[in-house]
Amino acid sequence: MTPETCTLAAGAGDGQRTGVRTGVRTWVRTWVRAWVRAGLLLAGLLLVSLAACRGGPGPARRGATAIDPGSATRGGTGASEGEVSTAFGTWRVAWRSVPAPVPLNTPFAVEAWLRPAGGDGSWEGDTWDGGAAGDVQPSLVIDAGMPHHQHGMNRTPELSRLPDGGFRADGMLFHMPGAWTLVFDVSRGGITERAEVVLTVGE
Amino acid sequence: MRPNLLPQRWSRGALLVVWLVLHGVAPLRASQDVEGRYGMFAAQVDARREPYAAAFLPDGRLAVLERGAPGVVLIGVDGSLTPRWGVRGDLPGQLERPSGLTATPEGTLLIADTGNHRVQEFTPDGRLLRVVVGAGVLRSPQGLTLAHGRLYVADTGNHRLVVLDREGAALTTIGEGDLRRPADVAVDAAGRVYVADGGHHRVVRFGPDGRLDSAWGERGPFPGLFVEPAGLAWHGDRLYVADRDNHRIQVFTSEGVRLYEWGKHARRPREGEGHLHYPDGVAVAPDGASVVVCESFADRWQVFRPAEGEATLYAADPALVSGGASPHFGPPVAANDELIVLIQPETQSVQVFRMGEPPLMITRFGGYGDGVGRFLQLTDVALHVSADEQTHVLVCDGDAGRVQEFRLERDASTAVRFDPAMAHLMRAVDLSVVLAAHGWGTAVVEPRAIARDAEHVYVADGRGRRVLVFDAGWRCLGVTAEGRDAVDLALGEDGRLWVLDGGRREVAVFEAGGGAEVASLAGEVLFDRPGGIAVGRGGRVVVTDTGRHGFVTLPGEDGVPSMLGAPGLGAGEFFKPRGVAWLPDGRLVVVDHGNHRAQLFEADGTFADAFGARLYVREARRSANR
């Protein structure tokens, strides 16, 4: 209840009519301001969420908890984002699930960014070291499975590129609870190197 | 020198039965009121030398091509047997692992001389008429057929068909890019060409113009699927397919509609009499009275007549084929002081056993598929312990042209148990791409064998007939053993590379790192068909001999070669042994491929133990106890 509303309720006669007009204007102004504020708030929220979904170069750059490189190719149990090395340490992969944490039996996406382990730290994918493989850009395949159950996902994720050079796998689905292994296969020049992250879902 | 391990046994009784069946003599000739289905067992001829293909001559005689002792056996219309003719070698008129046979309307025989990469034409009694087409065109040709005045040859090593005129001039090629290891070819009356596309596990049909217009099947045990289809025959309006690794014959219409199948999987060792074991070739008698099925793996051929009764009486059981029967081991093997690594060809998976009495399987990984971590055609395995003392398994995949490296993550302090998640893929190396990236040309690489030490990885390229040498990071350092048909590799303690040359039946030794050849042992007096090689402490070298069902220990400094083994099921007996590896404690493990087991031997050659399929292991232990 606003003070203007209290005045309106208290007015009478001409004074009351004038008071009514004034009260109506005040009421309209108040509601317009409220709608403008709400719109600005919504727009702000939208911008923030867009930036979170598309603009960021991965959790490592945003200060997310990085996986200890000493753990080689293994990520942390229950993690929904992190950074991991491929098996021979050639590449670093920063990744996150969308949404987080990884849901059980609900489709989700995984986004990932690559950089050479010995590079300048750039995640954009434009600083490959060349070498024998020339300027061939690396490719990344994202998949998952349950090694203890000897099966993979029951659907094939759809891979695409992000505007910032990252990779996105849509249509991931962990259809049963337990330990899943998320794999990142990085290929260039005929050699594919794998990084693994173990995720426990629904337990 | 060569022991007579496989006497030329030929049952006259069986021959008589075969002759009766082939020529439709009552009572074996069945009525045609069974919708023309075949499948009833009529006869078999055992103890042959890898019969691989058969063809009927215009005069009614049957010709059977054998690979093990290269040549042709004829059965006359009067039931008489012509002794096998054929000489092993690479001179004109000689044969090396021949794998294709067809008869011409003139009554001559065209033979795909696979090991010599050519097609030769012979009279039925073995006189060379001419070399039709030579090595410049073909690479390891297999099946062939003559139809509509053209000769169609499955140019297996080049993954295509070659079409020639009757004089042998190449007219065109078919299927380049569509075929993988085509094994046989058949042509129907309309000129449509059917190909057993072995590496793709399917049948492909090309139109008379050579365009691919149909394909059916994929890898699997169920009706209509195939595993390594190897032989074809077109008769009447039906296509007969020897579905080799499913142990059956499947019959289709020209449109790929499956009509029926026959061939039960064997349940007992060497079981025949209608049970098929890796059928390679199929031929239908011109009058339709019988079908001949060649089984080179079982060293026999069988004759079938039209079936009577329900079709299910003759059909294979997919559950048995896909895992119910005892799987084979090998061919390759690798071992260290704790582990033995084998492959299971039926499932295209790698099996890891922990040393013990008996060794116990602790993990299995891979499986058929073209994705990373799976395999299309397992050809060899190697074990390697990394600098951080992790155990790595390197796996060769011939069809995929790559080597994959896995890490075994295990806790040695815990009790031995099966862990399906023990193996973790680390790296997959596409050899052709790697070579091209490093400026070594664009040739397709088909890895057949692998050896690994701390500094080098050696990969035998079966297609290029060479050994590629890489550093630990898969940078190609060079090529060695050029022209060698390496079927297996081994490393000595001094780092020298031992190459087992299956074509020349030789062992060649090269300097460490892929240097020059320093020695060779002419093995044709030692080996019939070498399968695997291992080099142990003190330079002890063992070579398995698939053809003689045993293994040869090559001489030490003052010793002489010694042969151990004989065909059979008992301890120290083998059936087509392949891979071999020394264990650090001086024992030897031999993959007894045809007996579904591996055998362990003490350093002095005495039998120690066996593991694998229970039925076969039991026979070995029983005979050892006796």
Q: Which of A141, A150, A190 sits opposite B420 (nearest CB)?
A: A150
- Tell me the three state secondary structure of residue A43: helix
- Are B434 and A191 in contact (CB < 8 Å)? yes
Q: Do A168 and A108 belong to one domain?
A: yes
Are A165 and A94 in a shared domain?
yes
Whether B355 shows a pLDDT value over 70: the answer reads yes
pLDDT of amino acid A1? 34
Q: Which residue has the higher pLDDT, B366 or B325?
A: B366
Per the CB < 8 A criterion, the answer to whether B387 and B368 are in contact is no
Model pLDDT, residue A123: 56
Bond preceding residue B358 cis, omega within 30 of 0: yes
Within a domain: A35:
yes
In-domain check, residue A32: yes
> Residue B428 and residue A192: Cβ atoms within 8 Å?
yes
Inter-chain touch B424–A87, beta carbons under 8 Å: yes
pLDDT band at A137 (very low <50, low <70, confident <90, very high): confident
On the question of a cis peptide bond just before residue B27, with omega within 30 degrees of 0, the verdict is yes
Q: Assign A199 a pLDDT band (cuts: 50, 70, 90).
A: very high
For the segment B451-469, what is each residue's pLDDT rounded down to a tens digit? Answer: 999 999 999 999 999 999 9
Do residues A71 and A51 share a domain?
no
Task: Please spell the DSSP secondary structure of B440-506, one letter per residue.
Answer: S------EEEEEE-SSEEEEEETTTTEEEEEETT--EEEEESTT--EEEEEE-TTS-EEEEETTTTE
- In whole angstroms, what is the distance from residue B318 CA to residue B610 CA? 28
How many other C-beta atoms lie within 10 A of the C-beta of residue B58? 12
Min Cα separation A192/chain B (Å): 5
Give whole-number Cα distances, B185 to A75, B100, B148, B262, in Å.
Answer: 51, 10, 14, 21
Helix, strand, coil shares, percent, chain B, to 5:
10, 45, 45
User: Residues of A with CB below 8 A from B475's CB?
Assistant: 132
Tell me if A62 is assigned to some domain: no
Q: Say if residue A82 is in the same domain as residue A49.
A: no
Domain boundary among A35, A55, A75: A55
Question: Quick one: what percent of chain B has pLDDT higher than 70?
Answer: 92
Last residue of a domain, one of A11, A27, A55: A55
Name the residue among B372, B424, B434 with its Cβ closest to that of A190. B434
Domain match, A131 and A190 both:
yes
Q: Which of B65, B77, B16 is nearest to B43 (CA)?
A: B16
Domain boundary among A55, A80, A99: A55
Mean pLDDT of B328-334: 85
Distances (CA, A) of B587 to A66, B491, B597, B604: 48, 17, 16, 8
Distance from CA of A41 to the nearest CA of B (A): 48
Contact predicate A86/A73, CB 8 Å: yes
State whether B436 and A196 contact (CB < 8 Å).
no
Q: Which pLDDT tens digit goes with each residue over A122-132? A: 654 444 444 44
Residue B4 neighbours by CB distance under 10 Å: 7
Cross-chain Cβ contact B424/A194 below 8 Å: yes
pLDDT at residue B84, rounded to an integer: 93
Beta strand B588-592 with B597-601: parallel, antiparallel or unpaired? Answer: antiparallel
> Are A84 and A150 in the same domain?
yes
pLDDT tens across B211-230, in order?
A: 999 999 999 989 999 999 99
CA distance linking residue B4 with residue B577, whole number of Å: 17
* pLDDT tens figures, B490-545: 999 899 999 999 988 899 999 999 889 998 887 656 788 999 999 988 888 999 99
Please answer whether residues B542 and B523 qualify as being in contact, where contact means their C-beta atoms are separated by less than 8 angstroms: no
Beta bridge partners of B105: none
All residues of chain A having their beta carbon less than 8 Å from the beta carbon of residue B438 are 132
Does A190 share its domain with A152?
yes
**Any domain includes A144:** yes
Specify whether the CB–CB gap between A189 and A133 falls below 8 A.
yes
Q: Tell me how many domains chain A contains.
A: 2
Q: Is B475 on the interface with A (CB under 8 A)?
A: yes
Q: How far is A149 from chain B (nearest CA, A)?
A: 8
B417 touches chain A (CB under 8 A): no
Does A39 share its domain with A109?
Answer: no
Set of chain B residues whose Cβ sits within 8 Å of the Cβ of A142: none
Q: Do A132 and B474 touch (CB under 8 A)?
A: no
Interface test with B, best of A136, A194, A199 (most B CBs within 10 A): A194
**pLDDT per residue over B42-61, tens digit each?**
989 988 899 999 999 999 99
The CATH number covering residue A142 comes to 2.60.40.1930
| Distance between A123 CA and the closest CA of chain B, angstroms | 22
- How high is the pLDDT of residue B614? 87
Note whether A45 and A96 are same-domain residues. no
Alpha carbons B97 and B157: distance in angstroms, whole number: 14
Residues B379, B385, B390: CA angle, nearest 5 degrees:
110
pLDDT of residue B8: 37
In this structure, are A93 and A43 located in the same domain? no
Model confidence pLDDT, tens digit, residues B149-168? 999 999 999 999 999 999 89
pTM given for the model:
0.84
The continuous run of DSSP H or E covering B396 comes out as: strand B391-397
CB contact under 8 Å between B426 and A148, yes or no, is: no
Residue B444 contacts A where some CB pair is shorter than 8 Å: no
B427/A132 Cβ within 8 A: no
A149 falls within a domain: yes
Mutate to test the interface with A, among B350, B388, B393, B427 (most CBs of A within 10 A): B427
One domain, residues A29 and A87:
no
SS3 of chain A: helix, strand, coil, percent, to 5: 30, 30, 40
pLDDT grade for B437, boundaries at 50, 70 and 90: confident
> What average pLDDT does range B69-75 have in this prediction?
94
Is residue A60 assigned to a domain?
no
Q: Would you tell me the crossing angle of helices A13-50 and A3-10 to the nearest 10 degrees?
A: 160
Give the gap in angstroms from C-alpha B406 to the nearest C-alpha of chain A: 10
Residues of chain B neighbouring A200 (CB-CB closer than 8 A): none
Question: pLDDT tens digits for B84-127?
Answer: 999 999 999 999 999 999 999 999 999 999 999 999 999 999 99
Return d(Cα A75, Cα A66) in angstroms, integer: 9
Nearest CA in chain B to A130: B437
| Residue A98: exposure state from Cβ atoms within 10 A (0-12, 13-18, ≥19) | middle
Distance from CA of B451 to the nearest CA of A (A): 19
Is omega for the bond preceding A99 within 30 degrees of 0, making it cis? yes
Tokens of B277: 């074991």
Which residues span the domain enclosing A149?
Answer: 67-201
> Can you tell me whether residue B39 is helix, strand or coil?
strand
| Whether residues A90 and A135 fall in one domain | yes
Q: With respect to residue A109, please indicate whether it lies within any of the assigned structural domains.
A: yes
